[in-house]
Amino acid sequence: MFFRQHKRLFFLVIIVIVLSILTLYFQQIKLEELHTELAKVELQNVRVGAGTSKGKLGTAIFGVIQNNGEHTIKIATMNVNFIGEDGKFSKVHKFFPVNNYSFSDSLPLEPGQSKEFGFPIDEIIPENWNGTITAKLIDLKFK
């Protein structure tokens, strides 16, 4: 009797459950693909140095990004961790060594290509920064 009166609701709940499971499954597949591709893209020689940006000399982060994967990268996101005097992360900042929205260099990074990058950091350096950084790629968007 209950089932007959609420048949539509029952089927709607079943459909929502199935769709939720499928969504979670496909999200997991995409996450695994991202981790696989992140392992194929290298950050090389990431360092702090002096550089010129917009005609001003200042402190900057420099490095090279190498695409050893099979996909063309249109946006690469990296976290830079500024290490404080206490040896812990003082500040985390996102940079985009590959960015198709960039005014200065909007070219994608093709498979097998590498690209030098540099970002001025004078405006974002934390007060207790000890001068060292760590960098890690955290996200990729493909063409």
Residue type for 86, please? D
CB atoms within 10 A of CB 58: 14
Look up the domain containing 109 and give its range: 41-142
Domain shared by 72 and 104, yes or no: yes
Report CA 7 to chain centroid distance, whole Å: 46
What's the rounded Cα separation, in Å, for the pair 116 and 84?
26
Q: Starting at the earlier edge strand, list the strands of the sheet with 114-120.
A: 41-53, 56-67, 114-120
Q: Which residues pair with 43 in a beta bridge?
A: 65
Give the model confidence (pLDDT) of 79-135 as tens digits. 999 999 998 888 999 999 999 888 778 899 999 999 999 999 999 999 999 999 999
Domain shared by 60 and 79, yes or no: yes
Domain shared by 27 and 92, yes or no: no
Looking at residue 34, its pLDDT comes to 85
Domain shared by 54 and 90, yes or no: yes
Domain shared by 13 and 74, yes or no: no
Domain shared by 54 and 103, yes or no: yes
The pLDDT of residue 2 is above 70: no
Domain shared by 53 and 30, yes or no: no
Q: Are 45 and 118 in contact (CB under 8 A)?
A: no
What is the model's pTM?
Answer: 0.78
Give the model confidence (pLDDT) of 93-102 as tens digits. 999 999 988 8
Looking at residue 41, its pLDDT comes to 96
Domain shared by 136 and 69, yes or no: yes
Looking at residue 129, its pLDDT comes to 93
The structural domain count of the chain equals: 2
Domain shared by 56 and 118, yes or no: yes
What's the rounded Cα separation, in Å, for the pair 112 and 69?
7
Domain shared by 91 and 115, yes or no: yes
Domain shared by 18 and 77, yes or no: no
Q: Which residues pair with 128 in a beta bridge?
A: none
Domain shared by 63 and 130, yes or no: yes
* CATH number of 106's domain: 2.60.40
Of residues 3 and 32, more confidently modeled: 32
**In sequence order, what E strands does the chain have?**
41-53, 56-67, 73-84, 89-99, 114-120, 129-142
Looking at residue 92, its pLDDT comes to 94
Round to the nearest angstrom and report the end-to-end CA distance of the chain: 54
Give the rounded percent of residues in the chain with a pLDDT score beyond 90.
Answer: 63
Give the model confidence (pLDDT) of 52-75 as tens digits. 777 788 999 999 999 999 999 999
Give the model confidence (pLDDT) of 23-39 as tens digits. 998 899 888 888 889 99
